Amino acid sequence: MKDYKAACGKSLPRREFLKRGGAGAVATPAVFSIVGYHEKPNIVYFFSDTHRWGAMPYAQTPAIQTPNMQQMLSQGMSMDRCYTNLPICTPYRAILMTGRWPWQQGLIANHMELARRVDMPGDAQYGTLGWMFVHAGYQTAYFGKWHLGGTDARPFGWQKSIIWSGTNDHDGPNTYKIDGGTAITWNGISNSTATTRQALDWLETEADRSKPFFMMVSVNPPHGGMRDARDDMKALYPDETALPYHPNDEVRNWADHQGYHALTSGVDDDLGLVMQALEDRGLSNNTILVYTSDHGGMGGVRGIGYGSKRYPYDESSRVPFLIRWPRRIPSNQRRNTLFSSIDIFPTLCSLANTKIWLERSAHPDAPQSLAYLQSLPGVDHSKNLRNRFGGPDPDSVFVMHISVMNKNSAPFPLLHRTVVSKDYLYSVAKEGEYGLYEHAEGYQVTNLVEDPAHAAAKAALRTRLGQWIAEAETPFTDNWFANVSGSKMESWFGPQGNLNHPNPGDDGIFRLDDIAGVVPAGTDNFTPPGP
């Protein structure tokens, strides 16, 4: 068995990678072929927590050292305008796992449980990304942070499950459970590296080599705490000269600033272990490799703490999305097509020809999975990833933060509904119109919401936001409230009368009728509910 502890040094060292031109070299686009229906590509979905898009070397942070991510870009594609529809851990993961909107499947806030989704029975053997690929003939495995209730991913279609808990302390103590078993205590240098090694050990020693695999690796960094990064990663950023602050960082806390980027560089090293393992096993050419994150972090912008999310701004809701599949996805490509987490499930399934495999499958639950796949609301971007003609070009994506349930400490983040178009970000809060920002400005500094010169653009965006609400919320809210008991809602929110909450006794939900006077009735299929 290959020793993956020793493999830490096998990914290309940073300085050597930069010396060879990996950071800025323009690669010759790969010649890629049309995938035949006989192919079943492996999939490795490697994702971190709180890595904002701006903290990439080709985005807003040239000083950050992430050579393996840069190598992924040189060998594949970046979806530069990738947004998280609800930028918190649990809702992102529920959207990823179900391919459905938060109100639709029920997980609208942190610490809710996938087993209690409101759109289907908790014991259903379909309706998740894991089951979809099991029914299509794959072996599936999940490693790392789960954050969807419980400590076993197997009921949701992940045949191998190693779930970690307490991972905000990146050097321990943490615990993990193998296939739902007894908790094992871990202490070490990096739980991200330890999780990655577990995944690669499974690939080396347990995976059935006669079947394709779908492996998810979910690591916690650069989520806070941000001060326990590896010393060698901190050494990459000795001072502000080596790592300038974000130009709009009003907090300017060096320990968090250094730690955040050092943790991100550590995640990059772990991604390098995965890339090297795929290469060593001869799997790179038939493996779809994804690197992304569940949401971003504000990084001190607007005086908001480094890891804070939930906000409409790019720092919180826009994330990296790198994807590599040699000869199928062209190399060294960056796309500005609007893309969001609701689109990931159908896009991965389309890339892997899952529909074909479900139609041919003898698994008794394959028909249910096929029907489920065809019901998904997200956009299939596989043609865009393959650089084919006729790919979708969405006019906008929908971003929201609709509840402070399970957030029992101040300050409470903004509750909002937001539409991100090709040119603007427009956001509505409980108090009324909140913000209008033009992407061309770069850092979303100037709020144009009261600017008469942008009144027409704002009106069009207001209408589009109404249409998004009509599609992604209105059909599902009645079912949500009908299927969530008051006692369960109270347990999610915390004791009624919580004095830390801005509205003690409130259930913490930003209802549609709160904005009925802002987002107008009369837009397509949208009528705000009455009082």
Question: What are the pLDDT digits (tens) for 187-197?
Answer: 999 999 999 99
* Site of tokens 């178009």: 421
Residue 474 has pLDDT above 70, yes or no: yes
Residue 490 — very low, low, confident or very high, per pLDDT cuts 50/70/90? Answer: low
User: Is pLDDT of 462 > 50?
Assistant: yes
Residue 509 pLDDT class (50, 70, 90 cuts): confident
Percent residues over pLDDT 90 in the chain: 77
Residue 511 is predicted with a pLDDT of: 75
Please answer whether residues 531 and 513 qualify as being in contact, where contact means their C-beta atoms are separated by less than 8 angstroms: yes
Q: Three-state DSSP class for 406?
A: coil
Residues 71-81: tens digit of each pLDDT: 999 999 999 99
Rounded CA-CA distance 185/484 in Å is: 35
* Distance separating alpha carbons of residues 61 and 56, to the nearest angstrom: 6
Q: What are the CA-CA distances from residue 369 to residues 135, 165, 170 (Å)?
A: 7, 30, 37
Q: Helices in 281-431 by DSSP H: which ranges? A: 314-317, 344-351, 354-360, 366-375, 382-385
Tens of pLDDT, residues 258-277: 999 999 999 999 999 999 99
Burial of 175 (0-12, 13-18, 19+ CB in 10 A): middle
Band of the pLDDT at 481, cuts 50, 70, 90? Answer: confident
**Among 313, 379, 256, 237, which residue's Cα sits nearest to residue 52?**
313
Buried b vs exposed e over 405-419: b needs ≥16 C-beta within 10 Å?
bbbeeeeebbbbbbb
Predicted local distance difference test score (pLDDT) of residue 411:
66
The yes-or-no verdict on residue 297 having pLDDT over 60 is: yes
By the 8 A CB rule, do 427 and 416 touch?
A: yes
Burial of 498 (0-12, 13-18, 19+ CB in 10 A): middle
Q: Quick check: 16 pLDDT over 50?
A: no
What is the mean pLDDT of the segment spanning 210-217? 97
Looking at residue 520, its pLDDT comes to: 53
- The percent of residues above 70 in pLDDT, for the chain, comes to 84
Q: Domain 37-385 has what CATH class?
A: alpha beta
Paired residues of 429 in beta bridges: 416, 432
For position 175, what pLDDT does the model report? 98
Residues of the chain with CATH 3.40.720.10: 37-385
Which two tokens mark 31? 């010649």
Given pLDDT bands bounded at 50, 70 and 90, which one contains residue 517? low
In the predicted model, is pLDDT for residue 124 greater than 70? yes
Query: What pLDDT does residue 513 have?
Result: 73
Residue 159 to residue 413: CA distance in whole angstroms? 37
